[in-house]
């Protein structure tokens, strides 16, 4: 019995791991329950994804919480809108502000998640000399002692000031979209037909990183 029990535990852990990986992958898989409009039925290439502009045809029919009333502010026009707002924030705060915050935190978390992986493969020159062999959990305190965190606070604070100006203009009625700072060095936003898919990809990966 003492030998069989650990084997059963390992088997259960492997099964749980496989289920978790499948659930994660399903977040990026096309949904079979989303209705197809007549204009999208003819498009057979690639997975069907909820797109901006077509959100009224797809997103409005999706309800993340079954048998619950969809929040009025979540009308399906925003990329990635599946009607999930159990605490009712969309009825209290401007939806553009909420989407701006979601995109910003998602981008920060994607950079952080990438950094956690990359630092085990490559380190910039001088990192070891400055921080030694400190692990991820100890790097924050080491950076505070070295003064690096204070520099980050200064420069990121300046960026936040400029970002706040753009956000205020957006809330006052400009045509700026949440998260759009005009930074596109690779020109990925030049194709209007592929931009909604890229926006949804960024949003989903940002949510996963958070």
Task: Centre a 10 Å sphere on the Cβ of residue 83 and count the other Cβ atoms it contains.
Answer: 19
| Reported confidence tier of residue 134, pLDDT bands at 50, 70, 90 | confident
**Cβ distance 198 to 188 under 8 Å?**
yes
Between CA 68 and CA 140 the distance in angstroms is 42
pLDDT of residue 2: 44
pLDDT of residue 26: 43
Give per-residue pLDDT as tens, 14-30: 566 555 555 444 444 33
Between CA 60 and CA 82 the distance in angstroms is 7
> In sequence order, what DSSP letters do the residues of 17-74 get, joined into one string?
HHHHHHHHHHTTSPPSSSPPPHHHHT--SS-----SSSTTTTGGG--SSTTSPPPTT-
Per-residue pLDDT at 208 exceeds 90:
yes
Per-residue pLDDT at 6 exceeds 60:
no
Does pTM top 0.75 for this prediction? no
Between CA 59 and CA 174 the distance in angstroms is 25
Give per-residue pLDDT as tens, 49-87: 555 444 444 456 667 777 778 888 888 778 888 888 888
Between CA 32 and CA 9 the distance in angstroms is 34
């Amino acid at each position: 019995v003492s030998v069989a029990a650990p084997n059963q535990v390992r088997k259960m852990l492997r099964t749980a791991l496989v289920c978790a990986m499948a659930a994660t992958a399903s977040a990026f898989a096309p949904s079979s329950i989303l209705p197809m409009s007549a204009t999208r039925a003819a498009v057979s290439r690639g997975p069907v994804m909820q797109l901006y502009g077509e959100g009224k045809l797809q997103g409005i029919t999706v309800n993340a919480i079954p048998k619950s009333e969809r929040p009025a502010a979540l009308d399906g026009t925003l990329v990635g809108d599946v009607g999930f707002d159990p605490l009712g924030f969309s009825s209290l705060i401007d939806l553009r502000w909420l989407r701006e915050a979601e995109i910003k935190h998602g981008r920060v978390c994607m950079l952080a998640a990438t950094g956690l992986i990359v630092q085990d493969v490559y380190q910039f020159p001088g990192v070891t000399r400055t921080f030694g062999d400190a692990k991820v959990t100890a790097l924050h305190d080491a950076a505070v002692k070295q003064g690096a965190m204070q520099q980050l606070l200064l420069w990121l604070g300046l960026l936040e000031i400029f970002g706040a100006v753009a956000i205020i203009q957006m809330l006052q009625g400009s045509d700026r979209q949440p998260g759009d700072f005009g930074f596109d060095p690779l020109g990925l936003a030049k194709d209007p037909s592929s931009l909604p898919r890229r926006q949804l990809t960024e949003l989903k990966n940002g949510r996963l990183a958070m």
